[in-house]
Amino acid sequence: MQAIIGSIIAGLIIGAVARLILPGKQDISIFMTIVIGVISSLIVGIVFGAALGGHPWISWIASVVVACVAIVIYGGITGRKQLNR
């Protein structure tokens, strides 16, 4: 149960940081931001945990990068674009 709550909190932070890094305004909901952040965190945790031993700072940075890419991909798939405001 703690792992699930931790993943949701990490996903919230990672998704928020990813949206702040991306230029313009992303037309996605807060819920999708959390979902993308959680999925990014889990993917990076599994890959980096197996490959590099899971150094925490590298995992956080990689999770943010993966979340940025995932947000752009999600926008492309759903037809929601970044708004240049």
pLDDT surpassing 80 at residue 39: yes
The alpha carbon dihedral of 46, 48, 51, 52 has a sign of: negative
- Report the alpha-carbon distance of residue 9 to residue 18 in Å, rounded: 14
- Report the alpha-carbon distance of residue 19 to residue 11 in Å, rounded: 12
Summarize pLDDT for 3-34 with one digit per residue, the tens: 677 777 888 899 889 988 988 777 788 888 88
Reported confidence tier of residue 48, pLDDT bands at 50, 70, 90: confident
pLDDT surpassing 60 at residue 82: no
More confident site: 67 or 76: 67
Q: What is the pLDDT of residue 52?
A: 66
